[in-house]
Amino acid sequence: MTDVVQKLEASYEANLGPTVIPDCADAPEAGRRALGGISREGTLNLIGAAVGAVSLGLLLFGRLSPVAGPFGLVVVSYLMFLALYAFLTSVTEGRPVVVDKVMTVLMCTAGAVAGIALVSVISFVIWKGISVIPRTNLYTHDMSQAGPLSPLSVGGIAHAIVGTLIIITIAIAITVPLGLTCAVYLNESTGRGVRLVRTLVDAMTALPSILAGLFIFATWILILGFERSGLAAGLATGIMMLPIIIRSADVVLRLVPGNLREASAATGAPQWRTVWHVVLPTARSGLATAIILGVARGLGETAPVLLTAGFTASMNLNPVHNPMVTLPLAAFEFVRSPQKALIQRGFATAFVLMLVVLVLFAFARFLGGRPAGHLSKRQARRVANRSLRDAQRFRARPVEVN
């Protein structure tokens, strides 16, 4: 047995030659793989499919079919484009690539349609109100001195702007503490009431705005006897803002890493201190985004304000007494008028409201892009200075030697 093993080892050593390392000096450098973009072949497939689809659509609707119309032409041409593009791609690619490219085209089409719709709405509103938008009296005067036949140089929507600010401030003061507290309860509590509260919040999200106005109108005005005012409109608007803030804040608080809670609990901190000093500061930017989204929802409400605040053409700074008007309600009342000047004022009011909402959504998008716990430069400097002071204090403390 030993002789057999020795012979095998000798045969292995005889056949084992020196290790040869290949020379890669002259090998071509591997190119960087492109993860995005479209190839030349893909561009030609898109162009060919588009030209073929338009040609077939024109042939079908112009010569072969008695049915005509631009909408049907666009729909049929687009369906033909998808089919031709899938066929041309399948010539050189497999089924997964074909499905991926077709779905990419569908997603790009959906984005383009949404963008075109948004641009169309903004352009239409600006076009209808362009004669009023540049006038300064639109933003500094109210309609108390203007009538249906007054020129555009008389009157404005200052009362609607101020009313909107007062009503939305009341709604924020009510909904922000309640909404954030409810979101914290949904995330931190494990009791039986969590499921009930979450179900109620989901149901309130789909609540029609007219029902919120009817609820406040029936309870606050008819039963309790208060008059129509900005306070009643703020309560109705707050009902519509509340589920938006709760659901958005709930999602943000779920994104806070669990190890932060565990680290705080490991130091012996109670749960309320962990929430106040760890969870909420970490989700600060996301909570601000939730509040802004709720405010944007409240700014566009018309039906609750119409039922609870009434309508007025003069400035009212008292939210408890007398009617108060907001930008959506003013635009609604202006556009209903048969007079051309009032219709132009209505579109100008809609432009102001749309601009405010777009700015809020852009700001929410900016805040939502920050990761949880993100610190600005000023906050980072404050943390660094605080750490330096702590280090100096520990360094100056005398060391006791036992």
pLDDT of res. 260: 80
What span, in angstroms and rounded, lies between the C-alpha atoms of 218 and 235? Answer: 13
* CA 234 from centroid of its chain's CA atoms: 23
pLDDT of res. 178: 92
- Report H helices in 225-369: 230-254, 258-266, 271-274, 280-282, 284-299, 303-308, 327-336, 340-368
pLDDT of res. 29: 60
Q: Where are the domains of the chain?
A: 42-129, 140-372
pLDDT of res. 154: 84
Across 6-32, b (16+ Cβ under 10 Å) vs e yields eeeeeeeeeeeeeeeeeeeeeeeeeee
User: Up-side HSE of residue 171: CA atoms within 13 Å toward CB?
Assistant: 34
- Whether the CB-CB separation of 216 and 232 falls below 8 Å is answered with yes
Q: At 110, is the secondary structure helix, strand, or coil? A: helix
**In the numeric block, which tokens belong to residue 61?**
């609707």
Render each residue's pLDDT in the chain as its tens digit; 402 residues: 566 556 656 665 555 555 555 555 555 565 565 555 667 777 888 888 888 888 887 777 766 665 566 777 788 888 888 888 888 888 888 888 888 888 888 999 999 999 999 899 989 999 988 888 888 888 888 888 887 778 888 888 888 989 999 999 999 999 999 999 999 888 888 777 888 888 888 888 888 888 888 989 999 988 888 888 889 999 999 999 999 999 988 888 888 888 888 888 888 878 888 888 888 888 888 888 888 888 888 888 888 888 888 888 888 888 888 888 988 988 888 888 888 888 888 899 999 988 888 888 787 777 655 555 566 677 677 778 877 887 777 777 665 555
Burial class (CB in 10 A: 0-12, 13-18, 19+), 209: buried
What span, in angstroms and rounded, lies between the C-alpha atoms of 158 and 140? Answer: 5
Q: What helix, strand, coil percent values describe the chain, rounded to 5?
A: 70, 0, 30
pLDDT of res. 124: 92
pLDDT of res. 283: 83
- Among 76, 84, 83, 85, smallest CA distance to 57 is for 76
pLDDT of res. 20: 58
- Whether the CB-CB separation of 292 and 367 falls below 8 Å is answered with yes
pLDDT of res. 114: 92
Angstrom CA distances, 127 to 13, 167, 214, 236, 351, stand at 90, 29, 35, 33, 10
What span, in angstroms and rounded, lies between the C-alpha atoms of 87 and 81? Answer: 10
Angstrom CA distances, 57 to 64, 71, 87, 89, 106, stand at 10, 11, 17, 21, 19
pTM of the predicted model, to two decimals?
Answer: 0.72
Q: Let me know if domain 140-372 sits in CATH 1.10.3720.10.
A: yes
